[in-house]
Amino acid sequence: MQVELYVSNLPPGYTEEEVSRLIDLPGTVTDVTLLINQRTNMPRNAAVISFDTEEKFWFVLRLMNRKFVGDYRILTSPKEPTQLLRIPPQLLKSQSKSIAEYLGESDLKPKVQIHRMIRLCGVDFVQALLDETNRIEKEGGVMLPDESRRRTKGGVFFHLARNNISHKILKPIFFAPLPEPQPPRGKSQPRQESAPAAKPKPRTAEEVLIELRQLYRQAQQKMMQLQTSGAPSDEVKAATQQMFRIKSQIDTLLRKYPNLG
């Protein structure tokens, strides 16, 4: 089964060979196509990378969202909506909530768009997008097209997202209908008997491993932030212990299921 990734924010003039070398894994890439703006006939500083297996898709998606080429942060997400991400619902919900709060977005529309973005593009991509948002904010931010004011932090985040996601992913994130709000229950409205809740489906070992790895990366980032900000040693120690506890859980799971890798 061939799978494809959308790679954006490439340096100007980057070639297909240079994109392929970014991955640095022999035999991984089956094809690289640089994208051209159809209106201007100019390069879009983006490419589509094809792979022959799902396992390579997973590995490269995580790898590429940590790559830099000079000052350019490489941003990588699926080219098309895919079932390969399989993000655990609880992780999806908690990540969506924390990112919306961090960006200062409280309205339904941006909160739904963040949720969809994580589900369709992956946590690694959204975290890379957040890192790039923070970098731009520290350097003075981005003005609105009419130069009336700076964009908000959330505005910068969504501006980056629209310019670094494939068109086939943009549509279900930004243009699909929003869910209907639930009307408040009136006092006189009779309460309907709800059907017994279905037993939650047990999580697979793969889903548990994905969630643990996400938590481990978050713990690593927190520890590094505490160290660089000169936080008290007891806070750094607690963060380090938390990181090693999660790492121990990952190692235990991999020993039990060695094929997960």
Query: For the chain, how long is the longest CA-to-CA vector?
Result: 68
CA dist., res. 59 & res. 65, Å (int): 11
CATH superfamily of 89-175: PHAX RNA-binding domain (1.10.10.1440)
Domain locations in the chain as residue ranges: 3-78, 89-175, 205-260
- The answer to whether the predicted template modeling score (pTM) of the entire model surpasses 0.95 is no
Residuewise pLDDT in 10s, the chain (261 residues) = 678 999 999 999 999 999 988 887 666 778 899 999 888 888 889 999 988 777 777 778 888 888 999 999 999 999 998 866 778 888 899 999 999 999 999 999 999 999 999 999 998 999 999 999 999 999 999 999 998 999 999 999 999 999 999 999 999 999 999 887 666 665 555 555 556 655 556 667 777 878 788 888 888 877 777 777 777 777 778 778 888 888 888 888 788 877 776
CB atoms under 10 Å from CB of 243, counted, come to 19
Q: Bridge-partner residues for 34, per DSSP?
A: 47
Residue 45 Cα distances to 1, 162, 223, angstroms: 27, 14, 34
The domain 3-78 having CATH identifier 3.30.70.330: the answer here is yes
- Tokens 């090693």, residue? 244
In the prediction, which pLDDT does 186 show? 58
Query: Is the separation of the CB atoms in 144 and 158 below 8 Å?
Result: no
Cβ-count burial 19-44 (b if 16+ within 10 Å, e if not): bbebbeeeebbeebebbeeeeeeeee
> Which value, to the nearest 10 degrees, does the dihedral of the CA atoms of residues 63, 68, 72, 73 take?
40
User: In whole angstroms, what is the distance from residue 154 CA to residue 170 CA?
Assistant: 17
Query: Hey, do 3-78 and 89-175 end up sharing a CATH topology, with the first three levels equal?
Result: no
- Comparing CA positions, the residue from 96, 88, 83, 111 lying closest to residue 213 is 88
Neighbours of 124 (CB within 10 A): 22
